[in-house]
A = this chain, B = another copy of it.
Amino acid sequence: MLTLFHHPICPHSRFVRLVLEEYGWTAKLVEERVWERRTEFLMLNPAGTTPVLVEEGALAVPGAGVIAEYLDEARGATVTERRLLPAEQGARVEVRRLMSWFNDKFFGEVSGPLVTERVYKRHMPAAAGGGAPDTETLRAAKSNIKYHLAYIGWLVRKRDWLAGDNLTYADLGDVPWDKDETAKSWYARIKSRPSFRGLLAEALPGLAPSKTYADLDF
């Protein structure tokens, strides 16, 4: 049995949910409000961040990248024909490079600041850093989107999927690509996958469903 401690708006949590959906593995979802810093959650992940995947009360696996590696090693052999981390050395480097691009770089420059400013800070008490969004941070994050879009557009002009010929972890970064012309056909294919349906339809308290990431004004 898998349990995923997540937040509906956390890009790293959404990445892991897409991965689980792609593989057809069910996890019990537990919503974690990380800003509350629950002791039990900090014991699972001292970093205090979502997501954390727990295997049957035994092993706690924290963080998008660590979870991706863990799932591939622990369960990947059962899904050889649609494995999200390919076997060949060069392909593995490319998938990991792009996983890191979305989970570290894009998150640091765009999706992390947007989610913090627009959603988390609304729920956080002032003493923990809550309050109105910082407009300067929002402006920078929105501006950073442009070169990410340009880069993804460039990749998908050369490839069927972001890392090569097949769907991999690299395609499951939760990013709003619908506004980019060159990325459109790839994104349409990604969005049409059953794994994306649940997340795209989800309504978040205080946010219109499809607006969560879509109203980025870029």
From B61, B100, B151, A65 is in contact (CB under 8 Å) with B100
A70 interface contact, C-beta 8 A: yes
A5 to B73, CA, bound (A): 30
Number of chain A residues close to chain B: CB under 8 A: 24
A46 with B151, Cβ < 8 A, contacts A65-B65, A97-B63 known = yes
Q: Does A142 contact B (CB under 8 A)?
A: no
CB distance from A65 to the nearest CB of B (A): 6
**A105 within 8 Å of B by Cβ?**
yes
Write the A77-106 contact mask toward B (1 if CB under 8 angstroms, else 0): 000000000000110110011001100110
* A100 partner, pick from B66, B90, B96, B97, beta carbons under 8 A: B66
A104 to B65, CA, bound (A): 11
User: Within 8 Å CB of A97, what residues of B?
Assistant: 47, 61-63, 66
Given contacts A47-B97, A70-B96, 5 further A-B contacts (CB under 8 A): A59-B89, A63-B96, A63-B100, A66-B93, A70-B89
Q: List 19 A-B contacts (CB under 8 A).
A: A47-B97, A47-B105, A59-B90, A59-B93, A61-B93, A62-B97, A63-B96, A63-B100, A65-B65, A65-B96, A65-B100, A66-B97, A66-B100, A69-B92, A69-B96, A70-B92, A70-B93, A74-B89, A104-B104
